[in-house]
Structure 1
Amino acid sequence: MSHASLTARYRPQTFAEVAGQETVKAILSRAAQENRVAPAYLFSGTRGVGKTTIARIFAKALNCTTAPTGEPCNTCEQCRKVTQGMHVDVVEIDGASNRGIDDAKRLKEAIGYAPMEGRYKVFIIDEAHMLTREAFNALLKTLEEPPARVTFVLATTEPHKFPVTIVSRCQHFTFTRLSEAGLEAHLTKVLGREGVDYDPAAVRLIARRAAGSVRDSMSLLGQVLALGESRLTIDGARGVLGLAGQELFLRLMEALAAQDCLGVANVVRELLDRGVDMGFFLRELVATWRNLFMLRQAGEAALASLDLPEDEARQWLGWAKRFEPAHIHACWQMTLEGQRRVLTSLEPAMALELLLLNLAMLPRLMPVESLRPSGGGASAPSGSAAEGPASGGAATIPTPGTQGMQGTAPAAGMTPSPAAPATPAPSAAPSPRVPWDDAAPAPRQTGIPPRPAPRMPEASPTAGSPAAPAQGDDSDTAEHTPSGPRTWDGFLEFCQGRNGQGGRLATVLRQTTPEHDDGILRLATMSSVQYERLTDAATRTTLAGLVRDYFGDACRVEVNPPTRVRRTEAELRKEAEAHPAVQLLKEEMGACILKCTPLADLRRPEDTTEQGDNKP
């Protein structure tokens, strides 16, 4: 039995026999029964969901001998001729072959004649999106006001290619994909009429592989039945259709959970040897991660929502406990986003293997320890808070040792309170780098005026200061804390020497403008992105710990939002064009504005006094 004969034999002949599309069937059946037929209809949807089939049934209902009726009788001469494709008043046109303006003109001439045998002339144009723009324009008036007893049915899989003027003249019905349960019921009915014994799991697999298309499900069923076995089995269906088995998925999950690269490679090799459909395998893998995520989050309460047999669902429940929720979620997202890259790659097998290896090594690629703050090893105090830029306030970052001291100003030299044994004073600190010193101004091409040198305290190290650690102290702070006065550039060097978050934070701090006043270190940011980065919860903790380790427990940090307002070139141009002097130059000398640049970007460093406004 070929799949073509199977599809043709069980093509629905009434609205009631069509699987799914309940709303469309109800509207068209009522329209035929009440003789309220629209001039044109537009049926859109994916392949194999019943667009052409319902159009033929609708044509039979309009021309049936018992019309007006909601269902064709399929026994009268009119219904039989439509079913056989021989009715003179029901014309099916292939839009891909008859797409030009000449074809549209011939169609308009045929429309002018009254129905010869039936009650209505029905023109069914399949794949109507293939018509040219000229052909669509030629049909505009005809679709809007056709002659009496004439209606059009346009079927398409790509409705976005239709001109809006055509869509507005049609009643548009969107055909949806059939659910897996609906396809399974339809295939079960067909197998029952064929008298074939079957395994329900095999029918479910074919319905899942069809992805909502009735025609695809019938085609796949025909392929499996062509194997000639007396019973439709799950193994036979997988073998014919090239689908991965349950045991292969379990082996893959075992390799992923154990981070076994060799095991993953063996699974990929077996997939290739079996000729498994990679597209369907990835779809099944995405569904598997989704099921694992739901089971990991909700436990047994999610079993009913998986649409799986009870024993299989409980088996996946045990597997869900072997993965962390974050791991499952990341695998789900990576598999979903990697489907297209694998299928469109020049080396799809290598792309699939790389994707699966990434899933296996994901815990090593994203260690949780690297996300933890490393500033001083202390957590932020419960009273710390940050005000966003919208409130206009600075974000205060208290150090862990300043709880209850918010109103107490530290000493003038920011010398920390004694906490460690006294040691001899260290030698003078080496000359630090000053990135915005007057002797080395910022490059002029950046458009950013140079910032003044920060005013930082230079506290001499004393007994108990962080610069003088106890004998034998081999901590990270003692290793990277320089000797000598405490300066801003020394602090940057100190941060740069720390591993992890401290080293990355030094890059952001170099772009801020520091200022010290009354024991408070104020950092002026240049952008909202920089402000949000420095006021993040983890960054606040890290920065507070670094300041405590370098300047002492008495120092507090405030991060100020950006105050400089930079207007766009369009805003500056608009303001300049409204200036009387510019208007006079344009009228008298024919001048024109080529470019508008803020004066702050052209000002010399010694002339830069205000950063709050940029005037053209």
Structure 2
Amino acid sequence: MSTSSLTAKYRPQTFDEVAGQQAIKTILSRAAAQDKVAPAYLFSGTRGVGKTTIARIFAKALNCVEAPTGEPCNKCDRCRQITAGVAVDVVEIDGASNRGIDDARRLKEDIGYAPLECRYKVFIIDEAHMLTKEAFNALLKTLEEPPPRVTFIMATTEPHKFPATIISRCQHYTYKMLTQVELVTHLESILEKEGISYDPAALQIIAKRGAGSVRDSMSLLGQALALGEDSLKEEDVRTFLGLAGQDVFFRLMESIHSQNLVGVGQTLREVLDQGLDLGFFLREMTSCWRNMFLLRQAGKAALPLLGFSGEEADTWLQWANKFSPAHIHACWQMTLDGQRRVMTSLEPAMALELLLLNMASLPELLNLESVGNPAAPVAPATGNRSGAPQGGGPGRSEGGFQSRPANSRQFIPQGTPSGQGNSAAQPAMRQHSGQPQVQGQSPAQSVSPASAGNVHSGNQTQNVPPRQQGHQTPAGQFSSDNAMQSGSSGQRPKASVGSGEDAPAPPSEVEPPVSTANAVLDLPTPPNGPKSWQGFLEYVQACNGKSHVNFHHLRQASGELRGNVLFVTCSSSFLHKQLTAGQGVFELEQVAGLYWGMDISVRIETGQLKAVKSEKRMREEAETNSSVEKVMDAFGALIVGVSPRDQQH
């Protein structure tokens, strides 16, 4: 057998022999049987799906001596001449070689002559998208109204390059890529005709690598048979295609399951040393994770869908049960997303190694038990301010509450009543005049209005309306550069807990609110004894990593507690910005309330800053500075302008 010409040797000669394309075969066969032929046809689709083959079969069906008929006889002189490509009235034109307007004009001249021997004159233009715009324009009228007994068949892989005026004059049929089952069936029929035994897995690999193209699959089959073996074996196919065997994937799964990073690296080195196709390796690994996911979820019920043999099915079922469903799903997703990154990377081997090591380290990177389980306990937060999920699964921070973007604000109630039968107040977000507020109290709580606070901006003071009843304004209103940030300057809302639904308890029975900062943030218990600003700084340092209060910024300021208001004085506007950024004031109130054991308001002030030097004064100082003089002498530089360093004094 000449394996180099399998495609030509087994080219279908009837509609029934063509693999796939059932709808198109039925339409054209019926048109030939009823002698209802369109002036022009346009066949489009990927390579090797039967466009030219079906065009030739259709030409034979139109011109067979038994016509009109749905199938050519392939015995008469006309059918044999068309099969051999020597029929006078069936002309095959290469669009890439005959693409100019002069070629189109000669074609129009040939169309004017009646068929010499056949019933129909058929012009098959292959790769028709290569025709120029002028050639298409020259054929417009001819395609729409050709002479009697003339039809055009144009085949192309790029229909988007056709003018809309051409497509509208044709019957357009889109050829589909063949499924893997159709390709395997077609290859099996060829091997049975050749009397060659084969491994079903080998044909599966060839069909998968053929990617829906019959011609590509036939070419790969010819390469496999050229090895000279008496039978087609899976190992031989994997060898000449440069594909990894299942033993490689089993070793890889073992290393990923045991988190053996060295084993992962050794398996990848083996893949690279064998010169295997990384693109197809990733495709097969994607199939492995997909098969394991279906087996893990559906068990043996998924075996008919996967097409495994008995021994192979048991092996993959065992591996599927070794991984958790979340781990398999995550690896499946990572492999799919990583295919393009690996193949387009300047270092594809390193990109693939990173992907495999991430899979092996996935249990450490992600708490798989909490994925999809909002009620699962999670570890405390460790200072992530970006809103990215940490450890507890998508959308959850490690503190057990919903994570949020850095520009959003979410407030936690500062105290919860500890009386029996009472639940903590559930905070709700509300935007009012650009400032977030917490609203909503439990039925057992009543909030009294607080005195009005003040917002200082520069040297002006603006009055702020008193808080509305039932709403708690978060401590601290944000001010501008040299402004002083103040919270509520008077009384804070107090919660009263009663024994009944509506009747509040006497003041003597009201228990003081207990701060939830230590419960939410998991902060250490503050030390006993006298409280001071220095002791507070030491406590903040002890809370490092468990609260968002920055000790290094806070120690540069001075503080003083007056009543239940903590005044923090900054030495520069830059420090003021750092302490008041985001929810800095609110978080400082939480830690301060826990340290002093009461409800604390924080007011952050800038203090008395030195006057800003004038530009003239700064220029004079710069010109007399010895370091500046050395730079000017060394480089021949000039002072273009001077400006202060963000007013850090």
Paired position in structure 1 for 2:51: 51
1:209-253 per-position Cα deviation (integer Å, ceiling 9, x unaligned) = 212211111111111111111121111221122221111111111
Contact in 2 for aligned 1:3/1:218 (Cα 8 Å): no
Q: 1:11 to 1:500 in 2, by over 3 A?
A: farther
Q: Secondary structure at the match of 1:155?
A: strand
Q: 1:201 to 1:475 in 2, by over 3 A?
A: closer
1:311-460 correspondence to structure 2 within 5 Å: 311-367=311-367, 369=378, 370-372=390-392, 404-405=443-444, 407-409=445-447, 436-437=478-479, 440=482, 455=488
Paired position in structure 2 for 1:585: none
Task: Give structure 1 stretches of 5+ with no counterpart.
Answer: 414-432, 442-450, 505-533, 535-541, 556-616
Distance of 1:411 and 1:552 partners within structure 2: 23
Paired position in structure 1 for 2:251: 251
Q: 1:464 to 1:387 in 2, by over 3 A?
A: closer
Residue 15 (structure 2) pairs with residue 15 (structure 1): yes
Distance of 2:151 and 2:527 partners within structure 1: 85
Contact in 1 for aligned 2:143/2:169 (Cα 8 Å): yes
Offset of residue 41 of structure 1: 1.3
Q: Secondary structure at the match of 1:212?
A: coil
1:80-479 correspondence to structure 2 within 5 Å: 80-367=80-367, 369=378, 370-372=390-392, 404-405=443-444, 407-409=445-447, 436-437=478-479, 440=482, 455=488, 476=523, 478=525
Q: Secondary structure at the match of 1:26?
A: helix
Which residue identity is paired with 2:447?
A: A
Which residue identity is paired with 2:115?
A: P
Aligned Cα root-mean-square deviation (Å): 4.3
Paired position in structure 2 for 1:79: 79
Q: Secondary structure at the match of 2:173?
A: strand
Which residue identity is paired with 2:212?
A: G
Which residue identity is paired with 2:523?
A: D
Distance of 1:304 and 1:548 partners within structure 2: 64
Paired position in structure 1 for 2:6: 6
Which residue identity is paired with 1:207?
A: A
Offset of residue 484 of structure 1: 8.4
Contact in 2 for aligned 1:303/1:314 (Cα 8 Å): no
Contact in 2 for aligned 1:469/1:478 (Cα 8 Å): no
Distance of 2:541 and 2:241 partners within structure 1: 60
Q: Secondary structure at the match of 1:227?
A: coil
Distance of 2:77 and 2:357 partners within structure 1: 64
Distance of 2:283 and 2:26 partners within structure 1: 33
Q: 1:374 to 1:210 in 2, by over 3 A?
A: closer
1:569-593 per-position Cα deviation (integer Å, ceiling 9, x unaligned) = xxxxxxxxxxxxxxxxxxxxxxxxx
Contact in 1 for aligned 2:517/2:591 (Cα 8 Å): no
Q: Secondary structure at the match of 2:105?
A: helix
TM-score normalized by structure 1?
0.67
Contact in 2 for aligned 1:255/1:360 (Cα 8 Å): yes
Which structure is higher in helix share?
Answer: 1
1:91-130 per-position Cα deviation (integer Å, ceiling 9, x unaligned) = 1111222222222222222222221211111111112222
Q: 1:302 to 1:106 in 2, by over 3 A?
A: same
Which residue identity is paired with 2:199?
A: D
Distance of 1:130 and 1:249 partners within structure 2: 44
Between 368-377 and 3-12, report the one with greater CA deviation.
Answer: 368-377
Contact in 1 for aligned 2:517/2:523 (Cα 8 Å): no
Distance of 1:147 and 1:317 partners within structure 2: 65
Contact in 2 for aligned 1:376/1:549 (Cα 8 Å): no
1:542-581 correspondence to structure 2 within 5 Å: none
TM-score normalized by structure 2?
0.64
Distance of 1:76 and 1:360 partners within structure 2: 66
Q: Secondary structure at the match of 1:125?
A: strand
Which residue identity is paired with 2:80?
A: R
Q: 1:435 to 1:183 in 2, by over 3 A?
A: same
Which residue identity is paired with 1:278?
A: L
Contact in 2 for aligned 1:467/1:483 (Cα 8 Å): no
Distance of 1:468 and 1:354 partners within structure 2: 42
Distance of 1:65 and 1:543 partners within structure 2: 96
Q: Secondary structure at the match of 1:437?
A: coil
Offset of residue 279 of structure 1: 1.9
Offset of residue 50 of structure 1: 0.8
Q: Secondary structure at the match of 1:80?
A: helix
Distance of 1:468 and 1:11 partners within structure 2: 79
Distance of 2:195 and 2:430 partners within structure 1: 71
Distance of 1:264 and 1:297 partners within structure 2: 26
Offset of residue 440 of structure 1: 2.1
Q: 1:230 to 1:466 in 2, by over 3 A?
A: same
Contact in 2 for aligned 1:375/1:501 (Cα 8 Å): no
Q: Secondary structure at the match of 1:5?
A: helix
Distance of 2:273 and 2:189 partners within structure 1: 35
Contact in 2 for aligned 1:73/1:79 (Cα 8 Å): yes
Which residue identity is paired with 2:482?
A: A
Q: 1:378 to 1:110 in 2, by over 3 A?
A: closer
Contact in 2 for aligned 1:89/1:121 (Cα 8 Å): yes
Q: 1:11 to 1:408 in 2, by over 3 A?
A: same
Distance of 1:480 and 1:103 partners within structure 2: 97
Q: 1:469 to 1:92 in 2, by over 3 A?
A: closer
Q: 1:212 to 1:439 in 2, by over 3 A?
A: closer
**Residue correspondences, number:** 474
Offset of residue 375 of structure 1: 8.7
Contact in 2 for aligned 1:40/1:143 (Cα 8 Å): yes
Offset of residue 334 of structure 1: 2.1
Offset of residue 501 of structure 1: 9.0
Distance of 1:87 and 1:48 partners within structure 2: 24
Offset of residue 552 of structure 1: 9.3
Q: 1:382 to 1:81 in 2, by over 3 A?
A: farther
Compare CA radii of gyration and give the structure with the larger one.
2
Q: 1:436 to 1:41 in 2, by over 3 A?
A: same
Contact in 1 for aligned 2:515/2:593 (Cα 8 Å): no
Q: 1:367 to 1:8 in 2, by over 3 A?
A: same
Paired position in structure 1 for 2:618: none
Between 209-218 and 28-37, report the one with greater CA deviation.
Answer: 209-218
Contact in 2 for aligned 1:495/1:546 (Cα 8 Å): no
Q: Secondary structure at the match of 2:124?
A: strand
Q: Secondary structure at the match of 2:160?
A: helix
Contact in 2 for aligned 1:268/1:353 (Cα 8 Å): yes
Distance of 1:294 and 1:333 partners within structure 2: 14
Offset of residue 26 of structure 1: 0.4
Paired position in structure 2 for 1:64: 64
Higher relative contact order (CA 8 A, sep 6+): 1
Q: 1:326 to 1:133 in 2, by over 3 A?
A: farther
